[in-house]
């Protein structure tokens, strides 16, 4: 009797495409009402946002630069999620990851960037991974919930970075807590320069080689989770820890590895931000990307194929929002945050609001009733 028709079996595209689209449209409608309420033209404002995010090569560059960071932090959330863990510590892991990247770049001197990149990736992954693995260990062996410990580790990371930047890594004879600049040879190439080399003209933006690293990470994460024995063990622990134990998988080990991988991915944000753009260590460079990554992962259904478009959407919100503030004096920075918040609310927190209605719509009605 139990053919493939569970009561909540939606076609895959309804879950993966239709539902997020409905949620985003609804979020935009609510945002439009808010813009209308402060006396601005919502359609014009929306157009400004889209135009600002995609309309120019500069805007597109910024959008994709933000998306690059978000892909890393969202993949971090996704890997932990498949192991049944909710890693809220992306922000702190990214912060520490950036420290690792920065230390590598400071140490290597004038090595060319393509030799530095593998080292800075390792540095970012190692520092971020360690910052994720500690809460993982505490969860596995001490029963301290990762949701709590990763939040605490965000604060610890923040304080640690302030201490290091102010007391240890600061460039002597300078007021602001920033390290010395890396050698020019180590800078990751900007996409505008790469485009120029093949004859495409782009306006300056911070978009750099890290974008390709992020896309490669998507493919690797996908292959890891769904096509390796480790990924199978990870998903088994996430879905049913008892069954994992029965299967001879040690959930403690898997939890630590999952958190380490998750932290490592978040740590790669440092490659984009520190190695790719800032070229020195400084404070507060993750800028909330670690938290927004949670919303991106939720919206992207914890799958790389969903995370990429979701990251681009949020990149558009960041970049388009900046344009909006320029063009509309009555729209403040805070209102852009409101719009971003509404999208997160509908896409993340309320993601299942329309699910029952869709299920009713898609369940074949039995004949004769």
Partner 1 sequence: MHAVTVTPAPHSAPKPAHEWAVELVGIDKRFGPVHANKDVTLRFAPASIHGLVGENGAGKSTLMSILYGFYQADSGQILVRGREVAIKGSQDAIGLGIGMVHQHFMLVETFTVLENLLLGHEGGPLLAPAVARARKEVEALERTFGLEVPLDALVSDLPVGVQQRVEILKALYRGADVLILDEPTAVLSPPEVAQLFRILERLRAEGRTVVLITHKLKEIMAITDHVSVLRRGAVVAEFATAETNRQQLADAMVGRKANLEVEKAPAAAGPVLLAAEGVNVVDARGVTTLKNASLTVRAGEIVGVAGVAGNGQSELLEVLSGMLPFASGTLTIKGETLKAGSAYDPADARRRGLAHVPEDRLKLAVVKEFPAAQSAILGYHDDKPLGRGWRLDWKRVTAKTAELMERFDVRPRDPSLRTALFSGGNQQKLVMAREMEKEPDILLVGQPTRGVDIGAIAFIHKQLVGLRDRGKAILLVSAELDEIMALSDRILVMCDGEIVGELSAAEATESRIGSMMAGVSAGEEQ
Q: Say whether 31 sits in a helix, a strand or coil.
A: helix
CB of 116 to partner 1, least distance (A): 28
Nearer to partner 1, 237 or 265 (CB): 237
CB closer to partner 1, 6 vs 199? 6
3-state SS string for 118-179: HHHHHHHHHHHHHHHHHHHHHHHHHCCCHHHHHHHHHHHHHHHHHHHHHHHCCCCCCCCCCC
Considering Cα of 315, then 320, then 326, then 328, what sign does the dihedral take?
Answer: negative
Nearer to partner 1, 275 or 303 (CB): 303
Region class of 182: left (phi > 0), else alpha (psi between -120 and 50), else beta:
beta
- Reduce the DSSP state of residue 190 to 3 states and report it: strand
Q: Given the complex with partner 1, which of 78 and 311 has the nearer CB atom?
A: 78
**Contact 260/136 with Cβ under 8 angstroms?**
yes
* Per-residue binder mask for partner 1 (CB under 8 A), 230-259, x = binder: xxxx-xx--xx-xx-xxxxxx---------
| Least spacing, CB of residue 71 vs partner 1, in Å | 23
Q: Least distance to partner 1 from the beta carbon of 4, Å?
A: 5
Q: Which residues of 158-192 are buried (b: 16+ CB within 10 A; e: fewer)?
A: bebbeebbeeebbeeeeeebbbeebbeebbbebbb
Task: Output the smallest distance, CB 135 to partner 1, in A.
Answer: 23
Shortest gap between Cβ of 236 and partner 1 (angstroms)? 6
Which among 4-12, 79-87, 131-139, 154-162 is the span making contact with partner 1, rule CB under 8 A?
A: 4-12
Distance CA 350, CA 23 (A): 8
Contact at 8 Å (CB) between 211 and 308? no
Regarding 363 and contact with partner 1 (CB under 8 A), the answer is yes
1 sits near partner 1 (criterion: CB under 8 A): yes
Question: Minimum distance from CB of 5 to partner 1 (Å)?
Answer: 5
Q: Can residue 7 be called a binding residue for partner 1 (CB under 8 A)?
A: yes
Question: Under the criterion CB under 8 A, does residue 330 sit at the interface with partner 1?
Answer: no
Minimum CB distance to partner 1 smaller for 184 or for 229: 229
Nearer to partner 1 by Cβ, of 99 and 258: the residue is 258
Are the CB atoms for 304 and 221 separated by under 8 Å? yes
- The smaller minimum CB distance to partner 1, of residues 78 and 207, is found at 78
Nearest approach, Cβ of residue 265 and partner 1 (Å):
18
Q: Decide whether 3 or 168 has the Cβ nearer to partner 1.
A: 3
User: Least separation, in Å, of the C-beta of 119 and partner 1?
Assistant: 24
Q: Going by C-beta distance under 8 Å and a sequence separation of 6 or more, which residues neighbour residue 346? A: 23, 24, 26, 27, 30, 353
Residue 13 makes contact with partner 1 by CB under 8 A: no
Q: How many residues bind partner 1 (CB under 8 A)?
A: 30
Of 253, 277, 306, 245, the closest CA to residue 77 belongs to: 306
List binders of partner 1 among 210-229 (CB under 8 A). Answer: 227-229
Residue 45 structure tokens: 């404002």
Instruction: Give the interface with partner 1 as residue ranges (CB under 8 A).
Output: 1-7, 227-233, 235-236, 239-240, 242-243, 245-250, 363-364, 366, 369
């Amino acid at each position: 009797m139990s053919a493939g028709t569970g009561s909540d079996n939606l076609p895959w595209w309804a879950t993966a495409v239709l539902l997020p689209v409905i949620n985003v449209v609804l979020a935009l409608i609510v945002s439009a009402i808010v813009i209308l309420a402060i006396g601005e033209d919502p359609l014009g404002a929306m157009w400004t946002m889209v135009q600002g995010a995609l309309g120019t090569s500069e805007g597109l560059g910024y959008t994709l630069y933000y998306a690059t960071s978000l892909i890393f932090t969202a993949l971090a959330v996704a890997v932990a999620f498949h192991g049944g863990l909710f890693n809220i510590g992306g922000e702190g892991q990214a912060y520490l990851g950036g420290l690792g990247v920065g230390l590598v770049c400071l140490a290597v001197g004038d090595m060319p960037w393509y030799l530095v990149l593998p080292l800075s990736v390792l540095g970012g992954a190692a520092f971020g991974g360690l910052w994720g693995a500690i809460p993982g260990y505490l969860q596995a062996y001490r029963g301290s919930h990762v949701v709590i410990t990763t939040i605490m580790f965000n604060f610890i990371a923040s304080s640690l970075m302030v201490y290091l930047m102010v007391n240890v890594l600061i460039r002597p004879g300078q007021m602001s807590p920033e390290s010395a600049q890396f050698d020019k040879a180590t800078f990751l190439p900007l996409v505008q320069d790469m485009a120029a080399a093949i004859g495409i003209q782009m306006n300056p933006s911070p978009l750099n080689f890290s974008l390709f690293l992020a896309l490669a990470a998507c493919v690797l994460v996908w292959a890891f989770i769904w096509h390796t024995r480790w990924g199978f063990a990870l998903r088994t622990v996430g879905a049913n820890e008892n069954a994992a134990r029965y299967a001879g998988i040690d959930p403690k080990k898997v939890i630590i590895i999952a958190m380490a991988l998750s932290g490592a991915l978040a740590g790669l944000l440092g490659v984009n931000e520190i190695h790719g753009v800032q070229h020195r260590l400084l404070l507060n460079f993750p800028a909330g990307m670690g938290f927004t990554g949670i919303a991106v992962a939720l919206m992207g259904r914890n799958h790389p194929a969903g995370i990429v478009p979701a990251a681009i959407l949020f990149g558009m919100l960041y970049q388009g929002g900046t344009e909006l503030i320029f063009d509309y004096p009555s729209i403040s920075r805070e209102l852009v945050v409101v719009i971003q918040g509404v999208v997160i609310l509908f896409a993340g927190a309320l993601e299942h609001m329309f699910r029952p209605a869709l299920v009713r719509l898609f369940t074949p009605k039995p004949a004769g009733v």
